[in-house]
Amino acid sequence: MNISSQYNHETERKKDKPSNVRYKLIEIFREFELEEGLEGAIKLRQIIDSLCFVLGQTVTIFITNRNGKILYSNDHLPLSTKLREVGIIENDVINIEQKVLGRNLNVGDLIFEETMHQISDELMYIHSHISPVRRDDEVSHFIIAFHDVTQLRRAESQLNIIYSIDPLTQLPNRHCFEEDLLKKIQLEKKSQNPFALFFLDLDRFKFFNDTLGHQVGDELIMDIAKKLRDIENKYITLYRFGGDEFIFLIKKVDTEEQIDELAEKILQIFKSAFIIQGNSLMLTCSIGISIYPDSSTSLKKLVECADTAMHYAKERGKDTYQIFSENMNTAYSERLKMEAQLRIALEKNQFFLHYQPQIDMKTNKIIGVEALVRWNNPELGIVAPNEFIPLAEEIGLIDPIGDWVLKTACQQVKNWQNELGLYIRVGINISPKQFQRPDFVSKVERVLQETGLAPKYVDLEITENGLMQNSADCLQTLYRLKSHGVKISIDDFGTGYSSLSYLKRFPIDTLKIDQSFVRDLIEDTNDQAIVTSIISLAHNMKLNVIAEGVETVEIVNFLNRHKCDEMQGYLYSKPLNPHDFESFLKKMKQQ
């Protein structure tokens, strides 16, 4: 059977109606059978069959002689016309010599990457596939397929934009950053020329985003990005890493002073308020800096070092920058260790409460206690509250810890009532996150019901900043608590939110003067002015006032002269465990 009749037989067997293109191919097979012999025709048929699946798509197939003279083309006229417009085809000849120059024609099919051509104001991308047809180890013909991949390349370009650009700020995103950083690391692998990463995290962004809404948050991010972008130049590129985090890639670092100057320039942007939808928003940023190759030479580690330095800056008061050093790794490891231990502390009963007496300055008697949580860890020892409370808030453990403190303190005071006939109130610190929970009031109600403690003996201590987060919701929460008879104190008064307007709106019972104003009260006239003003303000608003951190008799005398109501501090007693507090109570009765 000759090759053309075999082709017809297979087509008929498959019951496919052959296209005009296939009829033309059969004619060519017949010509090759006559001119080149059966072997040449079989080879040609095999090559054509391998390309038949693309027929009907944006592909034009040509068969040429060895000099590129076109012997056959399919009917895809629009693409054929374009190929002539851009000069790929001239006078029915395809420049084969240029395309196969230097190629080994004995290895099989030749696949070429696409070429780019200009048609009017648009670019066209053409992918070419060339297969030589051999006879007696000599190339006699070529089969060439041209594929118009313009739309594909345009789609890839759009996908690349989506993949690489942050849609909100139009800054290059994290994926783009990681690709650029990897290229930079590879570029500097031999020379080891230094470059730097600046990892920025916005301080207090979450507060504005939660209180004013996500639309305000988005506009704030866009405004910040716009101002940060002014710092860019050919050596500095800004990326949005995600959320409220940005990264600068500093491609050339000559001196440490250059690092300091740039960090200060970034911090200076946040010295002015951002005006968003009529709101004047003040926030800061914390910056962590890693330097190649000193900090690390790997992509992952460089980012981790900058992130560690950024957290180090936050722990040191925010609104500052830190350059990574190895001792930070030690601190970070200790923090991770503390976090892991903190997650299991509650179930292992490692927390306990101490109680610091609160003294009535007129009668010199104990009228209350403040419950203070402590953590005794087998590996870390006694961990100070100022170390683990902020961490608990950050990792979402403050709610279960706060719930435990609330119930334990209420139960202890009820036990003293039942066992000692001691009826005193207990001050319990409430974190802002705890207070803002929609089920907080119901939790307090449930604890009071379970312990049997009357609400008038519970004094919830909340900071000024805690009250000003979602102030409308806080106001409702306060009134619900007051309706049950629970007392409310403002803890660390004078150190937080600068506005005093909330005092006349919120149902508050007591102001607690922060110990930072009391500690140096005798020597510091400014502290004296602040303390006397707070006492006067509280009394004029018919509020009770407590001074914290009382450590000397001179301070007691000063507070008495200005009619402070209550005090607590080491002069009378440090915080005590329940047993030691009962012993202290007996001594007080004997005096």
Angle at 541 between CA 535 and CA 544, to 5 degrees: 55
Residue 249 is predicted with a pLDDT of 97
CB within 8 A of 554, min separation 6: which ones?
A: 522
Amino acid at the residue 123: L
- Does residue 325 have a pLDDT over 70? yes
Q: What is the DSSP letter of 207?
A: H
pLDDT surpassing 50 at residue 363: yes
**Domains contained in the chain, CATH given:** 3-154 (3.30.450), 165-324 (3.30.70.270), 345-590 (3.20.20.450)
| Per-residue confidence band for 132, with pLDDT thresholds at 50, 70 and 90 | confident
185, 292 Cβ separation under 8 angstroms: yes
pLDDT for residue 52: 47
More confident residue, 371 or 437: 371
- Single-letter code of the amino acid located at 112: F
Pairing state between β 425-429 and 487-493: unpaired
Question: What is 286-305 written as a DSSP string?
Answer: EEEEEEETTT-SSHHHHHHH
| Structure confidence by residue, pLDDT tens digits, 448-500 | 999 999 999 999 999 887 777 666 788 899 999 999 999 999 998 877 654 56
pLDDT for the residue numbered 310: 94
**pLDDT higher than threshold 50 for residue 7:** no
The amino acid that residue 495 corresponds to is T
Cα separation of 405 and 416, whole Å? 17
Helix, strand, coil content of the chain in percent (nearest 5)? 45, 25, 30
Phi, psi of 296 (to 5 degrees): -175, 170
Global confidence as pTM: 0.57
Q: Which of 42, 104, 34, 44 is nearest to 72 (CA)?
A: 44
- Distance between terminal CA atoms of the chain? 126
* Band (2; pLDDT cuts 50, 70, 90): very low
Residue 31 has pLDDT above 70, yes or no: no
Q: Which tens digits make up the pLDDT trace of 434-453?
A: 888 889 999 999 999 999 99
- pLDDT digit string, tens, across residues 32-86: 544 445 555 555 555 554 544 444 456 778 888 888 888 877 655 577 778 888 8
| Residues 367-389, mean pLDDT to the nearest whole number | 91
Token pair of 316 as six digits? 């040191």
pLDDT of residue 16: 38
Question: How many residues would you count in the chain?
Answer: 591
Residues 545/535, Cβ–Cβ less than 8 Å: yes
pLDDT higher than threshold 50 for residue 558: yes
> In this structure, which amino acid lies at residue 526?
N
State the average pLDDT over residues 585-590. Answer: 76
Virtual CA dihedral for 410, 415, 416, 420, nearest 10 degrees?
A: 160
In what side-by-side order are the strands of the sheet with 195-203?
236-242, 245-250, 195-203, 284-292, 321-323
